[in-house]
Amino acid sequence: MATLDIDELQAILTGAFPGSDVPRVEAVQGDTVLICQPITDRHGRPGGTLSGPTMMMLADTAAWLAILAQIGPVLLAVTTSLHIDFLRKPQLSDLMARARVLKLGRRLAVVDIELFSRGSVELVAKAQVTYSLPSPSQ
């Protein structure tokens, strides 16, 4: 199994979504990846909080990167399931995602994601994402 580092994951993310406001990869350690989404006003929603789609995007992206860190640049891995629980109102500051691969099989991978505001230990959301992995011939 390949293990990709911070720079390799960032290059994959930037290359896969050119011109997008992509998160920053901050750490890769074993089966865990830490990423950060810088937050601007356009990520907010009425009530002075972050939008749910912003948090779901970061959870899904973190899961994808955690898997790629383990298996290499297999860009055709796709989300098959995403469950998220919103736990508390996040701050309008950088949103962090810590993703840990729970299971890495031949065809499916399951990843646990914790979302929190930078500088806070309280989770704002908790997600679990399942990815379908392409067969080696794809």
- pLDDT by 10s per residue, the chain, length 138: 558 999 999 999 999 988 788 999 999 999 999 999 998 777 777 777 888 899 999 999 999 999 999 999 888 899 999 999 999 988 888 999 999 999 999 999 999 999 999 989 899 999 999 999 998 755
127 located within any domain: yes
Contact 76, 114 (CB under 8 A): no
Query: What is the extent of the structural domain holding 111?
Result: 6-132
1 located within any domain: no
102 burial type by CB count under 10 A (0-12 exposed, 13-18 middle, 19+ buried): middle
46 located within any domain: yes
138 located within any domain: no
26 located within any domain: yes
SS3 label, residue 120: coil
As a dihedral over the C-alpha atoms of residue 100, residue 63, residue 111, residue 130, rounded to 10 degrees, the angle is -170
Write the CATH number for 34.
3.10.129.10
DSSP summary character for residue 57: H
- Total domain count, the chain: 1
This prediction's pTM: 0.92
